[in-house]
């Protein structure tokens, strides 16, 4: 809700001085006021990505919300009722939006941000019945074509902390309930260091 976004930006302003980049998630869309939520975050200096890419201190960041639809052989296909086709088309549209953002990255060091997971490994631990609502392999395909150093997503509150795409890109689930459960003795965030690019001689 917009009033919750107001509280969030006030707390961030009091505690965080580094650049903040975000993507929206399904909870931000639930109230139908995602445009207002985005405006509040943006007005506070937070970069909200929805198919865009930007550079922060020499690191490229591409982000999109993503969507659900299942993984691997269980990925839902656009077949049958019009409602099913619309659902699948939404997943395809989000994957294309994500790919467009990845394709615009020009820095050696690159990060991808999603709300939904691009791989099954980081949703393991959730009830099997809801796997298809936690992400989709359609989001992994753009990553395989436009590699990044690492991928971050949320949404899977009881999934796994880490996994890899089929091409070996590390994927990190940073959903706050998972971080609280996994690291009960410290604040629920993680710090990652992006490897410096290798310099070739000659």
Alpha helices in 16-164 (DSSP H): 26-30, 34-43, 82-103, 140-145
Model pTM? 0.91
Whole-angstrom distance, CA of residue 180 vs CA of residue 178: 5
Whole-angstrom distance, CA of residue 165 vs CA of residue 76: 19
Mean pLDDT calculated for residue range 167-194: 94
Mean pLDDT calculated for residue range 155-169: 96
Mean pLDDT calculated for residue range 63-88: 93
Instruction: Evaluate if residue 197 carries a pLDDT over 90.
Output: no
Instruction: Evaluate if residue 23 carries a pLDDT over 80.
Output: yes
Partnered with residue 111 across adjacent β-strands are 61, 150
Whole-angstrom distance, CA of residue 71 vs CA of residue 87: 15
Of how many residues is the chain composed?
Answer: 202
**For residue 196, what pLDDT band results from cuts at 50, 70 and 90?**
confident
Those residues with Cβ within 8 angstroms of residue 92's Cβ, 6 or more apart along the chain or in another chain? 78, 138
- Report whether CATH 3.30.1490 matches the domain 54-182: no
Computed over every residue of the chain, the mean pLDDT equals 93
Amino acid 192: pLDDT: 93
Ranges of each domain in the chain: 1-48, 54-182
pLDDT tens, residue by residue, 96-150: 999 999 999 999 999 999 999 999 999 999 999 999 999 999 999 999 999 999 9
High-pLDDT (> 90) share of the chain, %: 86
Closest CA to 142 of 173, 165, 109: 165
**For residue 199, what pLDDT band results from cuts at 50, 70 and 90?**
low
Judged on CB neighbours under 10 Å (0-12, 13-18, 19+), 184 is exposed
Mean pLDDT calculated for residue range 177-192: 94
Contact (Cβ atoms closer than 8 angstroms) between residue 21 and residue 46: yes
Mean pLDDT calculated for residue range 50-68: 95
Report strand pairing: 162-164 vs 170-173. antiparallel
Those residues with Cβ within 8 angstroms of residue 188's Cβ, 6 or more apart along the chain or in another chain? 176, 179, 180
What element of type H or E holds 152?
strand 150-153
């Amino acid at each position: 809700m917009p009033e919750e976004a107001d509280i969030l930006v006030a707390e961030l302003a009091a505690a965080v001085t580094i650049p903040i980049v975000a993507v929206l998630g399904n909870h931000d869309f639930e109230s139908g006021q995602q445009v207002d939520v985005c405006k509040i975050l943006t007005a506070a200096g937070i970069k909200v990505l929805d198919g865009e890419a930007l550079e922060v201190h020499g690191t490229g960041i591409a982000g999109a919300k993503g969507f659900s639809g299942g993984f691997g052989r269980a990925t839902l296909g656009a077949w049958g009722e019009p409602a099913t086709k619309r659902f699948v088309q939404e997943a395809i549209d989000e994957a294309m939006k994500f790919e467009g953002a990845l394709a615009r990255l020009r820095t050696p060091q690159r990060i991808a941000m999603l709300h939904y997971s691009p791989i099954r490994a980081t949703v393991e631990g959730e009830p099997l019945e809801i796997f298809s609502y936690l992400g989709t392999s359609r989001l992994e395909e753009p990553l395989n074509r436009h590699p990044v150093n690492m991928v971050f997503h949320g949404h899977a509150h009881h999934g796994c902390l880490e996994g890899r795409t089929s091409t070996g890109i590390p994927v990190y689930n940073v959903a706050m309930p998972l971080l609280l459960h996994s690291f009960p003795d410290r604040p629920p965030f993680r710090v990652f260091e992006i490897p410096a690019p290798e310099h070739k001689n000659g």
